[in-house]
Structure 1
Amino acid sequence: MSSNGSDNEFEKGNAEHSGVYPCQCSALRKGGYVVIKGRPCKVFEMSTSKTGKHGHAKVTFAGYDIFTGKRLDDSCPSTHNVEVPEVKRTEFSLIGINDGYASLLLESGETRDDLKLPEGEMGQKIQADYDDGKELIVAVQTAMGMEAIIDYKEAKD
């Protein structure tokens, strides 16, 4: 045991910005990811203004929040760094639905029951297909400590 008595204590980073890395603004591309106003977004529009009399070229970009679909805009000098979220997509077998929560089968054989079905049409389609006895695979997207079911498909035999 260490002298301060804290063998198993680790400093936690800022969870809101965990899973991000810096990238020069000028290196952003359409279809890539960027953090706008603290939210992970997929870039769909970009423009660069010319270098002005007093400064750097400016990059203006717009993206859709990858979890809510909401449009967000931002801009910064091309030489400045922006945060890029690490976005991960994982597929799981759907083995049950209970009170609007998906029961997913993990690779380890364990189950996970803490992800809500998506709201709206997709969630209704997943519920209906599951109720019809179809075997479904759901895609879970993870970024910046947030997770959501973003897609699904019928399992192939």
Structure 2
Amino acid sequence: MPGTKPVELGSLKVGQYIVIDEVPCRIVDMTKSKPGKHGGAKIRLTAMGLFENVKKEHVGPTSSRADVPLIDKRKGQVLSIMGDLVQIMDLETFDTLEIPMPEDVEEIDSGMEVEYFEAVGRYKITRVISK
């Protein structure tokens, strides 16, 4: 999957990111079982989606590989608000993006500086930096 890198499941920790069923997620709970008589150690991950608040679970051997999304955190300035979309200009590259209006971020107006991230080709506003 583009925008990801493979890692071993056993090396992941709570708070890190993983792609489960092609959905980038943040790990919220993790349990490891000991190796048994007939097999290796298993790991059970519970994760929440980054873009949709969906709960995902994954179970597999600790030696198996999983994709981890490459997350790029950036700053941008709000140019305009068009219904459910926020038009943002990236402060480094000056590219213009249209990002869905977040539900969990305080009121956003034109001219504000916001922090957003990009993962697996999708964008999300995470917080307002300045008003």
* TM-score interval (norm. to shorter): 0.7 to 0.9
How big is the alpha-carbon RMSD for the aligned residues of Structure 1 and Structure 2? 2.1
1:106 CA displacement: 2.7
How does the TM-score come out when normalised to structure 2? Answer: 0.87
Question: CA-to-partner distance for each residue in 1:89-147, whole Å, 9 max, x for gaps?
Answer: 111011221233222223367451422212x3537x22xxx27xxx4212222111111
Name 1:143's counterpart in structure 2. Answer: 119
Instruction: Please say if 1:37 is aligned against 2:13.
Output: no
Secondary structure (helix, strand or coil) at the match of 2:105 reads helix
> Residues 101 and 113 of structure 1 are in contact (CA less than 8 Å); yes or no, is this contact kept in structure 2?
no
- Over 3 Å counting, the alpha-carbon distance change for 1:108 and 1:138 in structure 2 is closer
Q: 1:55-94, aligned counterparts within 5 Å?
A: 55-94=39-78
Gaps of 5+ in 2: none
Structure whose residues are more often helix by fraction: 1
Distance 1:80 1:148 in 2: 29
Gaps of 5+ in 1: 1-16
- Over 3 Å counting, the alpha-carbon distance change for 1:98 and 1:72 in structure 2 is same
Distance 1:78 1:28 in 2: 9
Distance 2:92 2:26 in 1: 31
> Residues 71 and 117 of structure 2 are in contact (CA less than 8 Å); yes or no, is this contact kept in structure 1?
yes
How does the TM-score come out when normalised to structure 1? Answer: 0.74
**Identity across the alignment (%):** 22
Q: Which runs of 4+ in 1 moved over 2 A?
A: 98-101, 105-111, 120-123
Secondary structure (helix, strand or coil) at the match of 1:91 reads strand
Equivalent pairs counted in the alignment come to: 131
Distance 2:62 2:83 in 1: 47
Name 2:129's counterpart in structure 1. Answer: 153
Structure whose residues are more often strand by fraction: 2
Larger of the two Rg values belongs to structure = 1
